[in-house]
Chains A and B, each alone.
Chain A
Amino acid sequence: MKEIYLINARIIDPKNNIDEIGGLIIDSNGAIKASGKKVANGNLPSSVNKIDLKKQVLIPGIVDMRVFVGEPGYEYKENFRTLSNAALSGGVTSVVSMPNTNPVIDNVSMVDFLKRRGRDKSKINIFPAASLTKNTEGKQMTEFGLLKRKGIVAFTDGIKTVQNPEVMSRIMNFASQSESLIMQHAEDNVLSNGGLINDGEISTRLGLKGIPFLAEKIIVERDLSFLEEYFCRYHISQISSKKTVSVIKKAKKEGKIFSTGVSINNLSLNENDIGDFKTFLKLSPPLRTESDRRALVESVNDGTIDVIVSDHKPEDEESKRLTFAQAATGASGVETLLPLALELFHNKSIKLNKLIAALTCNPAKILDINKGTLNKGADADLCIFDINKPWIVNKENIKSKSKNTPIEDRKLQGQVLKTFVKGELVYERN
């Protein structure tokens, strides 16, 4: 592999507090040799071939902590190849795949299968998560130590929450030994039972059973109480309400160490967008009020929330062409994660470095993986985008196998131009 010289880019590397015009050199092994303002045309030999990025933005490849693949069991919704194409077109180079497959990723042999499929069929880095409990039943914990040794980076029941407090406390107690990362989807099943959208005026008008914010808050409070007694690496997958934000702020002030994520959907949409029973906006956690949305946005900006995820959950049309109650939950979104996040920068809600950090170095740090930075020696996973390019989301251009985007026809500003994984140009917009 030849060295690649990228020059004249706006380099943003939040981990190293860098936002400057400069370049980046990819060495012959696909790693970053140098980056920053010192990599400029004048400092480079004139003989080498340079790619002029014309002031486009260059950031570390995006790390998406919450993605559903579909393999094994739901290949008709998404497979590794289609996921890879979708992710790369959105500048996402690493994903944590959720274990809610069929069968569930809950044992060592499944991990080998995933790694092999991921390696053979996709160009992105797949970091598989295994389930917290066998078959995500919330009863028997999985083999954290053995699974971690096999390369599992995180443990979560994905779309499910460990309901039983005794099981959860033991999980947290046990997981600390292997320093395993626990990611909880916070939702009390009893309180949310039968619920479809946020409990509020909209649910009253649409006649849909509501999911109260308390269903989320109560699990976060419970787990943070356990964390006091059984310290472990703990991450709340995604939160949706203002009240949960307050709980997290208070806990962080008290010195508790944990991290929190939020779905781009909850940052960019609210319950009003559900309109006339749009099933593509049936999400978990549900879209809540505008005031909740604002609180979440502010929390990303002030660092209360560490990570933005796409919560990419491909669902085939048949699962969505049903009544709201019967329709599947979830939205496709890995390829629009960055452009939709940039909306929050363009409308001056979140500072650009905070936004990029929440998509790159923050998730990498939580996962303890060597990604999300432009450090010398790191894999050259890169995302290059035009920060101002306007475009409109069109279902037909979606690369994911499922087309259930919640933002069809939305006007976005910012588009990915090139994506590199391990120094190889794996995506380029025509």
Chain B
Amino acid sequence: MAIIKKLKAIKKEQNHLLGIQDLSFSQISEILKQAKTFITLNKSNSKKLDILRGKTQINLFFEPSTRTQSSFELAGKRLGADVMSMNIVNSAIKKGETLIDTAMTLNAMHPDIIVIRHQDSGAPNLLSQKVNCSVINAGDGRREHPTQALLDALTIINRKGKVEGLKIAICGDILHSRVARSNIYLMNMLGAEVNVVAPKTLLPHSIERLGVKVFTDMKKGLDNCDIVMMLRLQNERMQGSFLPSAREYYEFYGLTPDKLKMAKKDALIMHPGPMNRGVEIDTNLADDINRSVIREQVELGVAIRMACLKIFCKGNQ
């Protein structure tokens, strides 16, 4: 009994990054501050640190991902960790193993950190209850994608100096978007004013209760905004007819120069990627180096993930 109690006590000390909702303002400040130091490092010739030397990081991606997975892999490696990315397609999960069994198997190999992406909301939470290492959420269902929101905040701070007081419009498929949810929580915490813009069929129930203003007219939603955050139209999650056509969507909710005029002159365009050019965003706008910070988001993503790995890694606090 005493042993069980002790184990429980140890488990409690684990640091997990499951969602922005669980973070305090000071934790967020610490992550952003830490990430800033890595921005310069990532641009230098010698990118390797040994902060996580001897630590093992497992990337457990149940959903296909290019940028997030490679970003986490690179982040871990640059901090000196041994990084292993599980290929789910060839794994026992495809043979019917449950998430908990997979977790227990991996746990037996004593990883220090597991980065998980899963199609089911709450999967990282379940995992965190069962393993003895830190769990970092790299996106779960439509619930949260905390590191994406953090890198978005870092990008904004890098360009605008701060988030507080800015007006941010999040546009597109809010219903299926974990990026939208994490950003709503984070930008609110950092003192921004958040608008969401979407057709009614792509708005989740009671979204206004999360502290946003809801617009179905994109021009009104973009009015006087500092940041225009576009979301990908998640076609693979569309189970019914949410929209009549991509053409109709682009006409009313695609980001075009005409609609962008409503935002501030120096408004930044963001997108978590991958983009559907000509569906949610005009292709020239996406590439406009004066307005679009899409590539910078990817760049700073590595810095944010390095900061998160450093701060949340077991025994590294």
Interface residues of A (CB under 8 A from B): 193-194, 199-201, 203-210, 276-277, 318, 321-326
Contacts and interface: CB of A to CB of B under 8 A. Distances in A.
Given A276-B125, A324-B120, A325-B121, A200 B206 contact: yes
Nearest to A326: B120
B232 interface: no
Interface in B117-148: 118-123, 125-126, 140-144
B205 A199 contact: yes
Across the A-B interface, give the 4 residue pairs with the lowest CB-CB distance, nearest first: A207-B143, A207-B121, A277-B122, A323-B120
A325 B205 contact: no
A168 B63 CA distance: 40
B239 A193 contact: yes
B51 interface: no
Given A204-B181, A206-B143, A207-B178, 12 more contacts: A193-B240, A201-B205, A201-B206, A204-B209, A204-B210, A205-B210, A277-B122, A323-B99, A323-B121, A323-B123, A326-B99, A326-B120
6 contacts: A207-B140, A208-B142, A210-B205, A276-B125, A322-B98, A324-B121
Nearest to A207: B143
Contact of B122 (A193, A204, A321, A324): A324
Interface string B60-90: 0000000000000000000000000000000
Nearest to B62: A323
A210 B203 CA distance: 12
Interface string B7-27: 000000000000001000000
Contact of B121 (A193, A199, A206, A321): A206
B166 interface: no
Given A193-B239, A204-B206, A321 B100 contact: yes
Contacts of B204: 203-204, 210
B207 interface: yes
Contact of A323 (B126, B181, B209, B239): B126
A264 to B, nearest CB: 26
A428 to B, nearest CB: 32
Contacts of A200: 205-206
A194 B237 CA distance: 11
Nearest to A209: B142
A207 B141 contact: yes
A277 B144 CA distance: 14
Contacts of B239: 193-194
A207 B181 contact: yes
Contacts of B141: 207-208, 325
Contacts of B118: 323
Given A207-B141, A207-B144, A207-B181, A201 B99 contact: no
B236 to A, nearest CB: 14
Contacts of A194: 239
Contact of B100 (A201, A207, A322): A322
Contacts of B210: 204-205
A324 B143 CA distance: 12
Contacts of B122: 206-208, 276-277, 323-324
B246 to A, nearest CB: 23
A207 B119 CA distance: 11
Q: Which one of B120, B122, B210 has the highest number of Cβ atoms from chain A below 10 Å of its Cβ?
A: B122
Contact of A208 (B100, B121, B126, B240): B121
A277 B125 contact: yes
Interface string B223-247: 0000000000000000110000000
Contacts of B240: 193
Given A321-B98, A323-B120, A326-B120, A201 B181 contact: no
A318 B97 CA distance: 11
Nearest to A200: B205
A205 B143 CA distance: 7
A184 B92 CA distance: 40
A326 B98 CA distance: 10
A48 B183 CA distance: 77
